Amino acid sequence: MASIRRRGKGYQVQVRRVGSKPASRTFTLKADAERWARQAEIDTENGYEGNHMPLSVRLHSLLERYAKHHAPHLKSRKQTLSLIRLMIDRLGHLPVKHIDNPVLAQYRDARLGVVSSQTVRKELDIVRRVIRLSPAPALRGFGRLSKAQKCPPLCLLRGGSRLLVLRGGCFRT
């Protein structure tokens, strides 16, 4: 259900529904706010979250999209496409909404026993890039490090308020 309220010089819209993440946005015009509220309610009814990505999207589809549109333009496209095929086999079955730091940390720990840390770093970097370039605005902030945090060069991920590294001491909870 959407609610519109006056906030400062604009109108804030909040759409909340049980089982979905709440979505909110602020508009200058009330007509724009009402239009967005109607569309957000329709999207929520049809199984979309506020980020306009279906809840059932799997990493597999984002990896394929990256391989088709972004990887061909890279200098290291052969290696990147090989890593994408590997990540499709290993993590492609996961819904994007379930990919978070604990899942990636578990994957990282399992892979470190088999391959070098540099290989694992490249694999996780592909996942980070794919999610950052996804069409969902809510996922674009995934995988960024804060500039103020002093960490060893192996810091890879940031999700929520946690930082993870391959090896070494950069942890924040």
Is the domain of 134 the same as that of 90? yes
Same domain, 40 and 70: no
Domain check: are 66 and 139 in the same one?
yes
Question: Are 39 and 32 spatial neighbours (Cβ–Cβ below 8 Å)?
Answer: no
Q: Based on the fold, state whether residues 32 and 105 are members of the same structural domain.
A: no
Q: Classify burial at 19, counting beta carbons within 10 Å of its beta carbon; exposed 0-12, middle 13-18, buried 19 or more.
A: exposed
Rounded to 10 degrees, the C-alpha dihedral 144/145/148/153 comes to -140
Secondary structure (3-state) at 94? coil
Question: Is 64 within a domain?
Answer: yes
What residues contact 48, with CB distance under 8 A and at least 6 apart?
A: 54, 55
* Same-domain check for residues 80 and 119: yes
Positions in the chain short of pLDDT 50: 50, 137-138, 140-173
Give the whole-angstrom CA distance, residue 107 versus residue 103.
Answer: 6
94 and 119 both lie in a single domain: yes
Q: Each residue of 44-69: pLDDT tens digit?
A: 776 665 455 565 788 898 899 889 98
Specify if 161 maps to a domain: no
66 and 137 housed in the same domain: yes
Q: Is residue 13 part of a domain?
A: yes
Q: Tokens 């090896």 sit at which residue?
A: 167
Q: How many residues does the chain have?
A: 173
- Please check whether residue 155 lies inside any domain of the structure: no
In a domain, 50, yes or no: no
Whether residues 133 and 75 fall in one domain: yes
- Extract the tokens encoding 6: 């006056």
pLDDT reported for residue 48: 62
pLDDT at 163: 41
Looking at the domain assignment, is residue 75 inside a domain? yes
pLDDT of residue 88: 92
Same domain membership, residue 63 and residue 134: yes
pLDDT of residue 54: 61
Count of domains observed in the chain:
2
Cα–Cα dist 38/35, whole Å: 5
Phi, psi of 29, deg, nearest 5: -100, 140
User: By residue range, what is the domain housing residue 118?
Assistant: 59-144
Considering the domain architecture, whether residues 68 and 138 belong to the same structural domain is answered as: yes
The pTM of this model reads 0.53
**Terminal Cα-to-Cα distance of the chain (whole angstroms):** 33
How large is the angle between the packed helices 117-132 and 77-91, nearest 10 degrees? 90
Q: Hey, is 66 helix, strand or coil?
A: helix
